[in-house]
Amino acid sequence: MAAPRAPDVAPPGPGAPGIRAPGLRALSFRAVGRLFRGPDGAPFRALDDVTLDCPAGSFTALIGPSGCGKSTLLRIATGLDAPDEGEATIGGAPPRAAARRGEIGVAFQDPALLPWRSVAENIALPLDALGRPRGPAKRRIADLIRLVGLDGFAEARPAQLSGGMRQRVALARALVTEPQVLFLDEPFGALDQILRRQMNLELQRIWRETGATTLLVTHAVDEAAFLADRVVVMAAGPGRIASVVAAPFPRPRGAALLRDPAFHALCDEIGERLFGARAA
Ligand SMILES: Nc1ncnc2c1ncn2[C@@H]1O[C@H](COP(=O)(O)OP(=O)(O)O)[C@@H](O)[C@H]1O
Ligand SMILES: [Mg+2]
C-alpha cells in the first residue's frame, strides 16, 4: 500500500534575531524505507517511503505511536543505521560524513552519563570520540554549562545531580561539537511535567541561540506544538508520515502560549491526527 505523502508545509525560517546563521545544514529524507525481521523471523517494514525536508535552522517535532519507527528514522539520520531504500542527507552529504565532522549532536531519553566522570568531563565525551583535543574546548564547555543552567556543577558527579540536571548535561554534551543539526529522541520523557515545561523553555532558548536544525522525537502533543515550527505525525504498520501540521506561533514562546486557545486548538488537531493514525 502506498503511504500517503505528507503535504509540504513551508515552515517559518530561523528569522529571530541573534540566531547563528552561517554553516547551518538542512536535513532531508528521500523515500526512506527500512525493513527488519520480527521475532518470528518474518520481514516487516519499519519505515515506508518517508520523505521529509527540514530546512536549515528549522525545528521539527516527530510524534507517533510506539513502534512507528521514530527512533529508527533518527538512527538513520545520524548515520547509526542505514536505510534499505532511499536516503537521508545532512547538508547534502551522507549522515556518517556529517557525524565525522562533528556536525551532529544527539541526546536520547536515557542521558547515559559516565558515573565516574564529572559533569564537564561527560560533556567533553563527543570531543574524545572525534579525537579532538579538549584544551581548546574548555571555554566552550564552561559556556555550555552556563547555557543549560548548571553553573557551579562542572566538577559534580552524575550521582549528585537530579534527573533534570542529568538531562541538561546530556543536552550540553549534544551541543559540545557545535553541531549544525541536533537530534533529540524523547529527551524529557522521564521527567515530571513541571521539569519538562522548564526544559522546554530552556531547549527553545538554546535552539534560538545556536540556530541548529533540530529534530525532536516526543510523545507529548503539547511539547511538540510548543517547541516546533512543524509537527510531523507518524503512523505505524508500516511506519510512515501520516500528516504534517504547522505550528506558526511567534517566538519566543512563553508560558502564556500554554493558555492560548489557538494553542489548545492546535494540540487538539494534532491529537486527532495522532488518534486517526493509531486507528488506521
Ligand atoms: N534493529 C532492529 N531489529 C529488528 N527490529 C527492530 C530494530 N530496531 C527497531 N525494530 C523494530 O522496528 C519498529 C520501529 O521501532 P522504533 O524505531 O524503535 O519505534 P519508535 O521509536 O517509534 O517507538 C519496532 O517494531 C521495533 O521493534
Ligand atoms: Mg523510540
CATH numbers and ranges of domains, the chain: 26-103+181-191+203-280 (3.40.50.300), 110-178 (no CATH)
Judged against a pLDDT cut of 60, whether residue 8 lies above it is answered with no
Judged against a pLDDT cut of 90, whether residue 267 lies above it is answered with yes
How far, in Å, from the CA of 253 to the mean position of ligand 1? 33
pLDDT of residue 217: 97
Eight-class DSSP state of 93:
B
**pLDDT: is 82 or 193 the higher one?**
82
| Mean pLDDT in residue range 8-15 | 37
Residue owning the nearest CA to atom 25 of ligand 1: 67
Using a 6 Å cutoff on CB, does residue 36 contact ligand 1?
A: yes
Judged against a pLDDT cut of 80, whether residue 18 lies above it is answered with no
223's CB contacts (< 8 A; 6+ apart) are 61, 188, 196, 200, 216
Q: Are 136 and 94 in contact (CB under 8 A)?
A: no
pLDDT of residue 164: 87
Using CA of residue 93, residue 97, residue 103, residue 104, what is the dihedral sign? Answer: positive
Closest CA to 217 of 64, 84, 49, 102: 64
Peptide bond into 238 cis (omega under 30): yes
pLDDT of residue 22: 52
Residue owning the nearest CA to atom 7 of ligand 1: 36
How far are the Cα atoms of 66, 103, 242 from residue 44, in angstroms, in the given order? 16, 32, 19
For 174-189, how does the pLDDT look when each residue is reduced to its tens digit (9 = 90+)? 999 889 999 999 988 8
Strand, helix or coil for residue 272: helix
Task: Using a pLDDT cut of 90, give the percent of the chain over it.
Answer: 72
Closest CA to 148 of 116, 92, 107: 107
Judged against a pLDDT cut of 60, whether residue 14 lies above it is answered with no
How many angstroms separate the CA atoms of 195 and 193, rounded? 6
Q: Which amino acid is at 6?
A: A
Residue linked to cell 514562546: 253
How many angstroms separate the CA atoms of 94 and 254, rounded? 36
pLDDT of residue 119: 97
Q: Which amino acid is at 242?
A: A
pLDDT of residue 230: 98
Residue owning the nearest CA to atom 12 of ligand 1: 46
| Mean pLDDT in residue range 116-136 | 92
Using a 6 Å cutoff on CB, does residue 99 contact ligand 1?
A: no
Q: Report the C-alpha dihedral over residues 100, 67, 217, 165, rounded to 10 degrees.
A: -90
For 217-228, how does the pLDDT look when each residue is reduced to its tens digit (9 = 90+)? 999 999 999 999
Distant-in-sequence contacts of 137-140, Cβ < 8 A, 24+ apart: 137/176, 140/176, 140/178
Judged against a pLDDT cut of 50, whether residue 10 lies above it is answered with no
How many angstroms separate the CA atoms of 220 and 187, rounded? 11
For 64, the grid coordinates are: 507517533
Q: Report the C-alpha dihedral over residues 67, 28, 219, 120, rounded to 10 degrees.
A: 110
Pick the range with the lowest mean pLDDT from 91-95, 122-126, 153-157, 273-277. 273-277
How far are the Cα atoms of 142, 169, 194, 209, 252 from residue 151, in angstroms, in the given order? 8, 11, 21, 18, 23
Using a 6 Å cutoff on CB, does residue 66 contact ligand 1?
A: yes
